Structure 1
Amino acid sequence: MKDVIAVNGSVQYLLNNNVKPFLYLLTDVRFLHRRREDFYNFSRNSQFTIVNLDVYEQASVDDQKYIEENCLIIRSFYRREKGGFLKKIKFNILKRVHKALLISVPLSKRGRLAGFCKDISIGYCSCHTIAYTAIQVAYSLKYGRIICSGLDLTGSCPRFYDESTSPMPSELSKDLFKILPFFTFMRKNVSDLNIFNLSDDTAIHYDIIPYITASELEDEIYYDKIV
């Protein structure tokens, strides 16, 4: 069985199909607030749990205690993706200190930065989709290959884990112009990233993340991380 990184509410689908996640990743504050019981269930049924600093800081005192005792907390390098002179200086210094941080910051505040971190213990680069964070987590764990499942980003597909209660709208379609440059940056700058996409309908060009079929996976003997 290949290790699985599950994100936000997708764990329910996996548990319903007798798949126990290796790692549960949550970066959506709303999910903890709206589906607290699910969060605890998913965390307890996963080998490891990672939440970001936003989730921790906006949690209740009881939830913060649980997170401190049972989860790893990671932090984004920035809250907004806008560029600017001071931000460029800051990250030029930071990436000299942390060689694992790859980041490009435009001088203009109208421009948008793009980045990728090879070591999530020092932080991660966020871009409006948890999938990108999950890829950085998988890379940090040094798996030889990463297989993405459900990475469509088309905005036309509902979240498959919101079939009945408390549906949470997807904002991928309006954020796509912010998201895609990060994946392009990743492809150009992370030369040893071995990544594939199982989705046959995706907004991410296959030149960036190549397509692979389930039957191709069944014929191979890799030990992969599935995100």
Structure 2
Amino acid sequence: MTVVTLEAGPSGERTLHLPSGQARRLPSWQLLRNSRSGAVFIIASGPSVAEFPLKDYAHVPMIAMNGSIARFEQEGVRPFFYLCDDAGVAEKKSTAVASGIHLSQWAALGMEAMKRLYAKEPQALQAENLLLMERVNRWADVPQRSDRAFAWSARKDPDFVMNWSLLSQAANRLGFSRNFGRGYFSARTIAYVAIQLAYYLGFDKVFLVGVDMNSSLGQFYDPAGVQVKSRLDDDFDGHILPNFSLLARQVIDSGFQVFNLSRESRLPGELIPKVNLAQVHELVTLATSQPLSPEVGKSV
């Protein structure tokens, strides 16, 4: 079976080869590094998204992910970035993922997500705004190491925040990437991935919307969890919470702050402070000191 393949050039450039015979050079992440500043909203898919007046903040850059693009379609708002690293989502919600690529100024998909999406929405991979996102130590053209071996090799790398452990293999899976172009740590939730992207792009105040972390409530677009089953409950204690704890202890400081708008989120407030809309308005006003690109928040 002919599949989507990736070719790496000698200087690190990536070329996507499609079954149609087309080949296209993917944009370089380096072009986007520290290209932004100020506030950014990360829009996830928890039910509390319904409480957020998205259109009121359409002038502020936003990162959509997976099925949360449905809210942007409803409100007629264009995200700055769209992310999908889940092959299951790309397959089962292919129309939404294709829409996310089309509506957003920039979009990034994992390689497996690209392959699944091509089977349903082949034209989506021809978009010039589409980048490849890769997990740390899961690069397409580099042999994978054990988590412990990689953590040891990266323990002094300024691009990665990691705590190497001889005793705990699980501890070696925890991390935060300061350089999204070199990969990201998944933490089993794309909201955490989006925080790493926000850091890389240069934003310094990150607001989480819909990061409820309660799989029993489903997503705002799929309350029964029928379309894409969530693994939040299985992953929360062993993967999600430890990574957010690392983020709070070793990354967040006065120069990079993360806030949570979900009052009922399972993420403890002592790790990620919970804020209300009045506080958000004040913080965004202070953070948005530079004029925004006319593309950001553009109505569709």
Q: TM-score range by the shorter chain?
A: 0.7 to 0.9
Match of 1:202 among 253, 265, 276: 265
Q: Which residue of 2 aligns with 1:82?
A: none
Select which of 85, 98, 103 maps to 1:27: 85
The counterpart of 2:182, out of the listed 115, 118, 122, is 122
SS at match of 2:161: strand
Q: How far apart are 1:165 and its partner, in Å?
A: 10
8 Å CA contact 2:78–2:104 kept in 1: the answer is yes
Which residue, out of 177, 181, 205, partners 2:242? 181
Q: Residue by residue, what CA displacement relative to the aligned partner does 1:108-134 show, whole Å, maximum 9, x if unpaired?
A: 465332100011011111111001000
Shift in Å, 1:168: 1.5
Separation in 2, partners of 1:137, 1:157: 27
Cα distance, 1:99 vs structure 2: 1.1
Q: Per the alignment, in what secondary structure is the counterpart of residue 104 of structure 1?
A: coil
Unaligned runs of 5+ in 2: 1-58, 139-144, 290-300
Shift of the alpha carbon at 1:163? 5.7
- Quick one: which of 203, 210, 215 aligns to 1:143? 203
TM superposition outliers: structure 1 runs of 4+ over 6 Å: none
**Residue in 2 aligned with 1:41?**
99
Preserved CA contact (<8 Å) 1:155 1:172: yes
User: Deviations for 1:56-107, whole angstroms, at most 9, x for unmatched residues?
Assistant: 355547749816744111211146xxxxx964343332344x4111112322
The CA RMSD over aligned residues, in Å, is 2.6
**What letter corresponds to residue 223 of structure 1 in structure 2?**
T
Aligned residues: 218
Give the structure, 1 or 2, with the largest relative contact order (CA under 8 Å, sep 6 or more): 2
Point out where structure 1 has 5 or more consecutive residues left out of the alignment: 80-84
TM-score by length of 2: 0.65
Tell whether the 8 Å contact from 2:111 to 2:133 is kept in structure 1 after alignment: yes
Distance 1:107 1:57, change over 3 A: farther
